[in-house]
Amino acid sequence: MSAKKVQTAAASGAEVLIPLNKLKKSPKNARKTPHSEASIEAYAASIATKGVLQNLVVEPELDTDGAATGFYFVTIGEGRRLAQLLRVKRKQIKKTEPIRCVIDTANDAFEISLDENVTRENMHPADQFEAFKKLADERGFGAEEIAARFGVTPHVVRQRLRLSTVSPRLIDAYRGGEMGFEQLVAFALIDDHARQETIYGRLSYSRDPVTIRRMLTETNVAATDRRAIFVGHEAYTEAGGTILRDLFTEDRGGYFEDATLLDRLAIEKLQQVAAALQKDVGWKWVEANLDFPHGHGLRRVYPREVELSAEDQAAYQAAQAEFDILTKQHASDEELTEAVDGRFGELETEIERYEALRYAFEADDIACGGAFVVLNHDGEVRVERGFIRPGDDNRQKVSTEDRMQDDGEDQATTDDDTESDAGLSDSLVAELTAYRSLGLRLALSEQPDVAVVAITHALLAQTFYRGAEANVLDIRPSSLFLGSHAGGIEDTEAGRAWSDRHARWAVQLPRDVADLWAFVVALDYNSRMAILAHCTALTINAVKLPRDHRPRALATADRLAEAVSLDMTSYWRPTVRTYFGRITKARILEAVRESVSAEAADRMANMKKPDMAEAAEQLLATIGWLPSLMRTPHAEREPAEQPAIAKVKDPDVCSVAAE
């Protein structure tokens, strides 16, 4: 009897073998969404190792006259048919491979197809990863072999095996619906059951995966931490450190579990840099710290401008000239060639090297001064030079004595002052000088130009000459260290711009604070106002703290922002690190809705928090949007009289000219 006759004669419910190339997709199949490539791969892997475990259900194809064509429509098992076709394509089987099928002409094909997909219940995920663990433990299957047998990737298998290490108590909570899959995944970060259960018990209303991971790693150090970047995972592991890895998320290198070891390795590496710096340059001391000691209280000196040698000056000018020529030649190029771009880089490096040679510390500054070697927020080393410890510098005392010997008038005045105090009681000295202070107040109040000189001198003396006590005005400038509230702010573009400006002023000031008054008097008007503005700006404190109730001060900060036309988009922009990663999803959507559109916010609404933050950063990158705290308010009406505020750009070199 022929195969076609056998097929035609088969009754409903019969089990038959049908060649693969005689099977077709049923037009009555209730599943309209195509099978995913991953599911077909999984079917193919399973069939390759275990065969077809469940028969296909088919019905004969009939022509227009109702006669059997010899082909069959697959009512149930389309995924398995596609998997077998994939195996044919890979030449694992022939296209005529006999497939075990059950003929069903009694039931409605569409209904049983729907029934197959609706009434079945998938295995609970907890059962799946426990079953994978059983295969690994009892049969010795590795992740690759399990993956091959079930058509998934080895990484997926490793993830499932990792889930099986979660505390049985937490797995039971997951089975009972008390915990979601994402929360369980978060607990799989560590395999310490006791700690998992402790953290689970500490959770209150907030059980999101981010919170769980943060609590699990609160004693660890992320691989993105500056210390981990600086030390490196190789040096850390060679020293005996271990790294915790998260198989389920992008962990960017994991978590360093021994924070104490990491700190020690970082300090030791910084100390090596400090020792080399002290040996090569000759500083009296070089101190290594993880963080810059902002409370050091030391006086600081800065490098002075020096003349380049004739040879260096010629090389510097030649490099600058070539750079300018290249810039003009390629000004209209949309993209530079690799050779031209490389030459630009070489010239920039050479120009920077010669510009650095134009400023140098004096030998006696190095002999009595020191430097701090610290770790930046990005894991790079930062060196701050020119600090003088108390007792290490006798130069000011010597220079004052020399000046007294060279200037008879100064010497006489000093002697007279000393003699005038002799035999007077402390109370009388205080009373007489109190009257003198009153006289100075009356006189100064009538001479605004001199008051500006005095204020400038007082601010300069305390800003650049710590501990000198040379200011007669009882004005005490206070400068809040902003880095204590914004980590890494000093390393931003704006932070570096401020540091560079401060250093440019410092190198122009007289070395001895005794010469500072004459220096300020000799400045032209614009230079004096510019340096006064710099010192004044250093005292600004518009930081808003939870327990620092200064509503009037913060309101004044708004008025100041208006006065200087502050535009924070020039100094800051919202990114995942600076803003979006640290606010709620609702606030992210609010920002997108305000700055882009409601439609854009709606498209992002179902994203996970990390993806939403990334998307928001990209959308707002060029828009110039700012959070309300960063915006400059605009006065509803202009005041009747508003003084004009001149914007004076600080010069590279003060114009020292007698007025």
Per-residue model confidence (pLDDT) at position 528: 92
Model confidence pLDDT, tens digit, residues 178-226: 887 788 878 877 777 888 888 888 776 556 777 787 787 777 888 888 8
- Please say if the pLDDT value at position 131 is more than 80: no
Q: Is the pLDDT of residue 30 over 90?
A: no
Question: What confidence tier does 409 reach under pLDDT thresholds 50, 70, 90?
Answer: very low
pLDDT at 235: 94
pLDDT at 373: 95
Around Cβ 601, how many Cβ atoms within 10 Å?
A: 20
Residue 654, pLDDT score: 44
Q: How far is CA 511 from CA 301, 306, 507, 514, 516, in A?
A: 8, 15, 9, 9, 8
Q: Which two tokens stand for residue 339?
A: 């050779």
Mean pLDDT of the 44-69 span: 87
CA end-to-end span of the chain, whole Å? 123
Alpha-carbon gap, residue 278 to 286, rounded angstroms = 6
For residue 119, name the pLDDT band (cuts at 50, 70, 90).
low
pLDDT at 106 over 90: no
Q: Residues 139-168: pLDDT tens digits?
A: 777 777 776 666 666 777 777 777 777 888
**Is the CB of residue 405 less than 8 Å from the CB of residue 256?**
no
pLDDT, tens digit (0-9, with 9 covering 90-100), for 260-284:
999 999 999 999 999 999 998 899 9
In angstroms, the CA 291 to CA 222 distance is 18
**Exposure string for 73-95, b = 16+ CB within 10 A, e = fewer:** bbbbbbbbbbbbbbbeeeeebee
Which residues, 6+ apart, have CB-to-CB distance to 46 below 8 Å? 53, 83, 149, 150, 151
Residue 370's alpha-carbon distances to 198, 221, 291, 387, 516, in angstroms, are: 49, 31, 16, 5, 24
Q: How confident is the model at residue 656 (pLDDT cuts 50, 70, 90)?
A: very low
Mean pLDDT of the chain: 81
Confidence of residue 238 (pLDDT cuts 50, 70, 90): very high
**Which pTM was predicted?**
0.58
- Above 80 in pLDDT, residue 316? yes
| Residue 543, Ramachandran bin (φ over 0: left; ψ between -120 and 50: alpha; else beta) | beta
Beta strands in 413-475 (DSSP E): none
pLDDT of residue 451: 85
What residues does 19 pair with on adjacent strands?
98
How much is the pLDDT for 645? 35
Domain-by-domain residue ranges, the chain? Answer: 3-118, 155-261, 265-330+338-388, 424-566+632-659, 567-630
**In percent, how much of the chain has pLDDT > 70?**
85
Stretch 397-415: mean pLDDT? 46
Q: Could you write out the DSSP letters of every residue in 201-261? A: HH--S---HHHHHHHHTTTSEETTSHHHHHH-HHHHHHTT--EE--SSS--TT-EES-HHH
What is the pLDDT at residue 640? 40
CATH of domain 3-118: 3.90.1530.10
Q: One-letter amino acid identity for 69?
A: T
| Integer angstrom CA distances of residue 327 from 134, 323, 330, 347, 348 | 68, 6, 5, 11, 12
